[in-house]
Chain A
Amino acid sequence: MARLIAALSGGVDSAVAAARAVDQGHDVTGVHLALSRTPQTHRTGSRGCCSLEDANDARRVADKLGIPFYVWDFSEQFHHEVVQQFLDEYRRGRTPNPCLRCNEKIKFAALCDRAVALGFDAVVTGHYASVTYDEAGRIELRRSVDAAKDQSYVLGVLTSEQLRRCVFPLGGMVKSEVRQEAARRGLRVADKPDSYDICFIPEGDTADYLHDKLGRRPGDIVDEDGTVLGRHDGVFTHTIGQRKGLHLGRPAPDGRPRYVLRLDAANNQVIVASHERLKITGLKGRDPIWCSGSPDVRIGQARPTAQADGQLPCADQPGEDPIAAQGRFAATVQLRAHGDALPAHVDYDANEVVITLDQPAYGIAPGQAAVIYDDAVVVGSVTIDQTW
């Protein structure tokens, strides 16, 4: 039996994850993360995971499971680590993923740290992914069996030390099974809709939110020659690869649509070009995170079958092999939360990762994460700084 914190968002996934941990005989305590000092309610248009109603749903799940329940206030850390960073990145013309950042800095850092300090062994969440350990105690983060719900991409920013404190009981289930199980257990959240929006953005209107926080900074939309084609009211409301909503008035000479190629925050310009120009074949980033131990040691090797049932951390096992100082290996790379896994070659050293794609990709924005896979295993991740 382990002492576990179940992070209860108020949704169906975390509810079933917690229930499964309780069934396994663990001593489970439910915690809802308060991420806003002034939580919204459904009345004020919240559709994320952090409204008062969600906190109440989480509490009711804990009641039903007969486990203690607390709301832990991480609003300050969330504001600094996630919201501020989100705005800073947009200000710099980059495209951040706040959910990934929240996993990295809040759920599996601040929450885990507090849990461990208070005598808990690990944190249970309802993420669709698995953590497994081989016979030598080496850790692997794996994709969910539900390809549509797989969240291994947003967990790819976690270190193996962080993952060793995680339990993901849902990695072997598909969403419909989770809902059925919730209904069977009598959890009222069984048919609660999924949340897709960014939790701190009211009504899910990112552009409006960014205008509200960053103001309006009108500037030119130009082509690569610098010819002014239109106006924008803030580079931050555009994303690389965007085609719609540019209002360019006149068509390109070749009559083909134009896409956002680059955001030049320093000059307050949005640069557009043809689709062909969005093509990239390489990218790089700094400070890689290797989730499943040294990257190339086990690439391509036979791996034990995943047991996606919320395996507990093997704290007394030897753990990961030391990370090689540098290396090169073949892998697949995922560049968006629900993007395809693209075949690629990866070169790395202690500071930097260079990824060479076997086939071109389109519309990849600095600020996004590149998550590297070996089949279903997450090898590691890096935040994209530069593409070519």
Chain B
Amino acid sequence: MTSPVGGDARERHITGIPISNFTAYGLRNSYGLRLHRTGDRPQRSRRVLVAVAPSRAARTACGHRGVGSIEDVDDSPSDRMDLVRHYFDHAATTPMRDAALTAWETNARRLGNPSAIHGAGREARSVVEEARETVADAWSIPPSTIIWTSGGTESDNLGIIGVARARRRKNPAATQVMVSPIEHHGVLDAAASLTSEGFTVIQMPLTEAGIVNYPATADLMRVHADTLAVVALMAVNNETGIIQPADRLAEVAHTELGVPFHCDAVQAHGLGPALSLQTCTAAFSAHKIGGPLGAGALVIPPDTPIEAISFGAGQESRLRSGTVPVPLVASFAEAVRETTVTESVENQRIDGLAARLESILTSVGAQIIGQNLARVGAIRYALFPGCSGQDLVVLLDARGIHVSTGSACTAGVPQPSHVLLAMGHSQDEANSGLRFSMGWTTTHDDLDALQAALPEVVAIARRR
């Protein structure tokens, strides 16, 4: 079925931008509808694009404008289910922003390796550096302190392993790594890998509420100051959304103790000055903020001891090798720019959605984690007593609502969340949890759908 469409179904985000700009195929999985341009872009990849709300109202709205065409289903198996999608997994990945997409497209066929010295190479390099400066301006740091990586995990690995090794090289007594037990596996497992090189890992103490205990951790850092190679704490927990005292601990480590501090800031972008990027290395990921998959950054303050952990031509300040992916970093930079520009308005909007989300969740008896703690609006973790989180995922999925158990997956097997376990919850409680995460495309339509589906779904899951 095709019908002419166009316009601004997601008015909050795309007002005034012609629909033909929305040529992202990364978006398809987020929505039930797909748009394609009429005529000019024959390849399938080009026509799989959407930036249209999944609601019927939006479909109708699209039908009245007229720039492209709209398809419900066709050749791709995943489209067989003609389902409207309501996506609550933005913390896993969020759709690409318009500006990011345009930047990607502009550079996707750009000639030249940015390391080459000829004209094409210089132009490519110029795009890379332009992107670096864009990000540096948004974050108010010098461009030279940013290196491009493949994403959050690589940035975390470099910020932990690269720093710990370099620090011990200078100071052989520095053989300890301190991390919080609620870190992402990109940090936890990087730290654990260092034990095979003779490092030991110290865990940060948590408060009873399940947040990193600032005074106790600061004291522990002081006790071990001479032997610490690196300390790591995330800015915002990716499962619970709880804001951790990373900024204050980084200050202690940097200013008072002279110990390197690494911050996984992957979930913290767009949240204002939650973190001073002068006092720690900080990991960022493009696709969590509306940039492309496969790009990330590590911010490295000038005085940080750090060495490469993978080897090659050393394109990125001799710390990271591999040809810099020009379209990805250009696109990442645009996502950073757009996120930063819209930050204050968008955060307010998300906070409003979060308040409603909480009331929907509590109305079905769910228990929200960290309700009295400072959290980002975009992430809520809820326990559904008597239910299995995995069952809830399956039941909601069948109704077009995408949530996650919020935990790390091995071969797609959801494990009980190590974050919840570390926060003192039982295995059963941890298995009953769901993470709801929202982002720039989330609207009240999505919450309407959730509100309609949740009571029945919880009742089925509870009966089991």
Question: Any chain A CB within 8 A of the CB of B80?
Answer: yes
B contact residues around A71 at 8 Å (CB): 411-414
Please name the residue on chain A nearest to B409 by beta carbon. A71
Q: Among B78, B79, B81, point to the contact of A63 (Cβ < 8 A).
A: B78
B contact residues around A75 at 8 Å (CB): 413
A114 adjacent to B78 (CB under 8 Å): no
Size category of the binding interface on chain A:
20 to 34
Size category of the binding interface on chain B:
20 to 34
B77 adjacent to A73 (CB under 8 Å): no
- The CA of A65 and the CA of B77, in the complex, are separated in Å by 7
Q: Among B81, B414, B460, point to the contact of A118 (Cβ < 8 A).
A: B460
Please name the residue on chain A nearest to B391 by beta carbon. A118
CB B414 to nearest CB in A, in angstroms, measures: 7
B contact residues around A63 at 8 Å (CB): 77-78
A47-94 interface (Cβ within 8 A of B)? 52, 55-56, 59, 63-66, 68, 70-73, 75
A contact residues around B413 at 8 Å (CB): 34, 39, 71, 73, 75
Most buried by B among A56, A64, A70, A119: A70
Question: Any chain A CB within 8 A of the CB of B170?
Answer: no
A118 adjacent to B394 (CB under 8 Å): yes
CB B427 to nearest CB in A, in angstroms, measures: 10
- The CA of A32 and the CA of B409, in the complex, are separated in Å by 14
B411 adjacent to A55 (CB under 8 Å): yes
B397-418 interface (Cβ within 8 A of A)? 397-398, 410-415
A70 adjacent to B412 (CB under 8 Å): yes
Question: Any chain A CB within 8 A of the CB of B102?
Answer: no
Please name the residue on chain B nearest to A33 by beta carbon. B413
A contact residues around B263 at 8 Å (CB): none
CB A190 to nearest CB in B, in angstroms, measures: 18
A contact residues around B398 at 8 Å (CB): 29, 68
- The CA of A68 and the CA of B402, in the complex, are separated in Å by 12
CB A27 to nearest CB in B, in angstroms, measures: 9
B421-452 interface (Cβ within 8 A of A)? none
B64-100 interface (Cβ within 8 A of A)? 77-81
B394 adjacent to A34 (CB under 8 Å): no
B464 adjacent to A114 (CB under 8 Å): yes
Q: Say whether, besides A117-B464, A118-B395, A119-B460, A66 and B77 are in contact (CB < 8 Å).
A: yes
1/0 contact trace for A309-351 toward B, CB 8 Å? 0000000000000000000000000000000000000000000
B contact residues around A70 at 8 Å (CB): 390, 393-394, 412
Question: Any chain A CB within 8 A of the CB of B463?
Answer: yes
CB B45 to nearest CB in A, in angstroms, measures: 17
- The CA of A68 and the CA of B394, in the complex, are separated in Å by 9
- The CA of A55 and the CA of B414, in the complex, are separated in Å by 13
CB A383 to nearest CB in B, in angstroms, measures: 30
Q: Among A56, A64, A73, A117, point to the contact of B414 (Cβ < 8 A).
A: A73
Q: Say whether, besides A72-B390, A118-B464, A64 and B77 are in contact (CB < 8 Å).
A: yes
A117 adjacent to B463 (CB under 8 Å): yes
- The CA of A72 and the CA of B394, in the complex, are separated in Å by 10
Please name the residue on chain B nearest to A54 by beta carbon. B411
- The CA of A359 and the CA of B398, in the complex, are separated in Å by 56
Please name the residue on chain A nearest to B463 by beta carbon. A117
B contact residues around A65 at 8 Å (CB): 77
Please name the residue on chain A nearest to B464 by beta carbon. A117
Please name the residue on chain A nearest to B80 by beta carbon. A66
A contact residues around B411 at 8 Å (CB): 34, 39, 52, 55-56, 71
A contact residues around B464 at 8 Å (CB): 114, 117-118
B contact residues around A114 at 8 Å (CB): 391, 464
CB A270 to nearest CB in B, in angstroms, measures: 40
B contact residues around A68 at 8 Å (CB): 81, 394, 397-398
A contact residues around B410 at 8 Å (CB): 39, 52
A252-311 interface (Cβ within 8 A of B)? none
Given contacts A34-B411, A71-B413, 5 further A-B contacts (CB under 8 A): A59-B412, A68-B398, A70-B394, A71-B412, A119-B460
Tell me the A residues contacting B by CB distance below 8 Å. 29, 32, 34, 39, 52, 55-56, 59, 63-66, 68, 70-73, 75, 114, 117-119
Shortest 5 CB-CB distances between A and B: which pairs? A66-B77, A117-B464, A71-B412, A66-B80, A34-B413
List, sorted by A's number, 16 A–B pairs whose CB atoms are closer than 8 Å.
A34-B411, A34-B412, A34-B413, A39-B413, A65-B77, A66-B77, A68-B394, A68-B397, A70-B390, A70-B394, A71-B414, A72-B390, A75-B413, A114-B391, A118-B395, A118-B464
